[in-house]
Copies of this chain bind each other. A is one copy, B any other.
Amino acid sequence: MISLRCLVLLLSLGLGLVSARADEGMWLFNNPPAAQLQQKYNFSPTPQWLEHLQKASVRFNSGGSGSFISADGLAITNHHVGADTLQKLSSAEHNYLREGFYAKTQAEEQRALDLELNVLESVEDVTDRVNAAIKPTMNAEAALAARRAIIAQIEKESKDKTGLRSNVITLYEGGSYQLYRYKRYTDVRLVFAPEQQAAFYGGDPDNFEYPRYDLDICIFRVYEDGKPAHIDNYLKFNPAGPKEGDLVFISGNPGGTDRELTISVLTDARDRQLPARMAQLFRREVNLTSYSARSLENARRARDDLFGVQNSRKALGGRLAGLLDPMIFDLLLTNETNLRKGMKDHGQDSKFKEGLAAYDKIATAQKAIVKVSPAYDYYERQLSFHSTLADYARLLVRAPEEHNKPNGERLPEFRESSLDSLELALFSTEPIYDDLEELQLTDSLTDLIGHLGAEDPLVKQVMAGKGPADRAAELVKGTKLKDLAFRKKLYAGDSAAIKAANDPMLSLMLLIDPAARAARKTVDASNETKQQAYAQIAKVRFALKGASSSPDATFTLRLSYGTVRGYEENGKQIPAFTNLGGLYQRSTEHENKEPFELPQRWVEKKDLLSLGTNFDFVCDGDIIGGNSGSPVVNREGEFVGIIFDGNIQSLVLDYLYNDKIARAVSVDSAAISEALRKVYDASALADEIEGKTK
């Protein structure tokens, strides 16, 4: 924290929030930072350059990014993005997550159970059409309904017309609406994954740290009509990797940033939301760790869940630490104060008056959210029911009711434009382990009682006169939802069929549905109010500062850029690159003990490797969670690396950008080539990627 404090001091004393030369921003492809690139790097991306990179970029709907790297549909992402698929394809006999996987022939490629990839095909501005549907006389609830209806209509029209997945995206907190059209790939097959120990070398201790020695990659191939899809826009793979000082671009789907939030909302995040989420993560991590320690098979079953929990714990912990640092919080406060002062100085203009009033509207709406948050968190967000079976039950209980509504009035996840994705999730054949379901359900029911109280009337109904362990066992053992055919049958039926099924998990979800929906209604209406208010603030910010900044991230495609360079931490210079030799050195320093032990293949193949080959590297591009798997490309648009992490100092990027010590961490393309050829005997795959065949 010391060095971050110094940085913040520097920034606040010196150049303001961001240096004029800083590589800030998660830019829209239709509004790239042309001036900045020209000024600092003397580089002007052409429309063709941008379109090629856009269409070579792939969104992994399980929560990450990736890119096409061959004409025959090879798509590369991170191992930790592919982990969900690896986990679901694994069994007690074949632990692909731990042991890795390589399909030497296309016939051996394994189809993912419920993975969807999206490629952004086109973007259309629909701001005016959306805003026109909202009348000034509408209250928040009516406005929300009107907005939902017009968005659903736009999406459906687009999908009907183009056949493409169509989503209206809200940018600038409601200042702009854009229709994004995606090509969907749902036949996605696993081609290659290293051992998790190679991908995630150093485990939780090294996560969000640097230097690193991780081969965090996973390679899939997309199919159409049972054949490898032909891809026009794929990235040329440059096996030389980048050099220190190089300009690089990152094309991916940052999940979300909070740089526009008001202090009232940030205060709630600091004092309530983040501490509550951390408490959840702590209990889940202990629960999963203790389960995993009991046997190797348990560890296998829980691996992906545990990774996710540990990863979030570090990420949110970093964010909370940022907000708890008065230096950072005061800087955010100063920014808001200055903006509000700017508004006051234009006191006569109604736009500025509305901007000022918007802060109060947001604070009031946030209070309404806080008030219903126990019900919203535990029932609507299902914190009480950490269980895949409960997730199925929720979708099945709501589906008939939602499907009967006009498209525009449905909850967004039940809109026509979302149904393909919903069904992919609901009809997944992922393995479900009763013991793990019971374990997590027991724990989350215990948590529910701890927060809402054993005597709460709805809690009592949820528990049905039993303790958490007995109730969880009854639900998991009693439900038939593990049966895919049963789920399909119910999904095709009506509400009466759901009730008649007399399934304990369905009954539970029916029981809590009114409370869950009521809480969601309040939260959605409050968020609508907030969104309108944020749009008013955005308008004023544009008026005062111009529209030169990029909007907060929304898990849609963005372009970041930056320089490959190291940084100084606590007086120590951290170089930009590590090399393969460093991996072996780190293992020796830790007596090759978990989580620093070398995978067996890496021990055996050491002598074949050029140990000076670059392994991982850092650059100062602006990224956040969701960017995992994003390609790093050079001026020529060539693939030179793949983002897989940020250092611990980058976690605060959620709230403000800095380029002094925050760094994005990538696997170097040179290491990918070297490892595929020499460690994994996958030269055929390397040849395809490097364009040496066909």
Asked if A205 and B467 make an inter-chain contact with CB atoms under 8 angstroms apart, the answer reads no
A466 touches B286 (CB 8 A): no
Question: Which A residues from 450 to 502 make CB contacts under 8 A with B?
Answer: 450-451, 453-455, 463, 465-470, 473
Please name the residue on chain B nearest to A451 by beta carbon.
B275
Cβ-based interface call for A203 (8 A):
yes
Inter-chain CA distance A450–B466, complex, in Å, is 32
Given known contacts A294-B205, A296-B593, A590-B295, is B324 in contact with A468 (CB within 8 Å)? yes
A129 in the interface, Cβ–Cβ < 8 Å? no
Q: Mark A116-130, 1 if CB is under 8 A from B, else 0.
A: 000000000000000
Indicate whether A325 sits within 8 Å of B204 (C-beta atoms), given known contacts A283-B278, A286-B286: no
Is the pair A279, B271 in contact by a Cβ cutoff of 8 Å?
Answer: no
Minimum CB distance partner of A282 in chain B: B282
Chain B residues with CB under 8 A of A7: none
Question: Whose C-beta in chain B lies nearest to the C-beta of A463?
Answer: B326
Contact between B282 and A324 (Cβ–Cβ < 8 Å)?
Answer: no
- In the bound complex, residues from chain B placing their C-beta under 8 Å from that of A286 are 281-282, 285-286, 313
CB contact under 8 A between A293 and B204, given known A325-B467, A467-B1, A469-B321:
yes
Instruction: Give a binary string over A232-274; 1 marks a CB under 8 Å from any B CB, 0 the rest.
Output: 0000000000000000000000000000000000010011000
Give the residue name and chain of the B residue nearest to A294 (CB): B205
Which B residues lie within 8 Å of A5 (CB)?
Answer: 470
Copies per complex? 2
Please name all residues of chain B whose beta carbon is closer than 8 Å to the beta carbon of A279 when the two chains form the complex: 279, 282-283, 450
| Inter-subunit contact A449/B593 (CB<8 Å) | no
Query: Which single member of B1, B271, B590 contacts A470 (CB below 8 Å)?
Result: B1
Interface residue ranges of A570-611 to B (CB < 8 Å): 590-591, 593-595
Is A590 within 8 A of B296, CB to CB? yes
A450 to B320, CA, bound (A): 10
| Selected contact of A324 from candidates B320, B324, B327, B467, CB within 8 Å | B467
Q: Which residues from chain B contact A139 at a C-beta distance below 8 Å?
A: none
Asked if residues A468 and B295 are in contact (CB atoms below 8 Å), the reply is: no
**A338: Cβ under 8 A from any B Cβ:** no
Q: Does A176 sit at the interface, judged by CB under 8 A?
A: no
Which residue from chain B places its CB closest to the CB of A317 in the assembled complex? B446
Question: Which residues on the B side are within 8 Å of A468 (C-beta)?
Answer: 321, 324
Q: Is A30 an interface residue, CB under 8 A from the partner? A: no
Residues in chain B near residue A324, CB distance under 8 A: 446, 449, 454, 467-468
Counting CB contacts under 8 A, is A289 at the interface? yes
Q: How far is the CB of A349 from chain B (nearest CB, A)?
A: 33
- Chain A residues near B (Cβ < 8 Å): 1-2, 5, 203-205, 267, 270-271, 275, 278-279, 281-283, 285-286, 289-290, 293-296, 310, 313, 320-321, 324-328, 446, 449-451, 453-455, 463, 465-470, 473, 590-591, 593-595
Jot down 23 A-B pairs with beta carbons below 8 A, ordered by A: A1-B467, A1-B470, A1-B473, A2-B470, A203-B293, A204-B293, A205-B290, A205-B293, A270-B454, A271-B449, A279-B279, A279-B283, A279-B450, A282-B282, A293-B595, A295-B590, A320-B446, A321-B446, A321-B468, A321-B469, A324-B468, A325-B469, A328-B467
User: What are the 10 tightest A-B residue pairs by CB atom distance, in nearest-first order?
Assistant: A325-B467, A275-B450, A282-B282, A205-B294, A1-B469, A282-B283, A205-B293, A324-B467, A282-B286, A285-B286
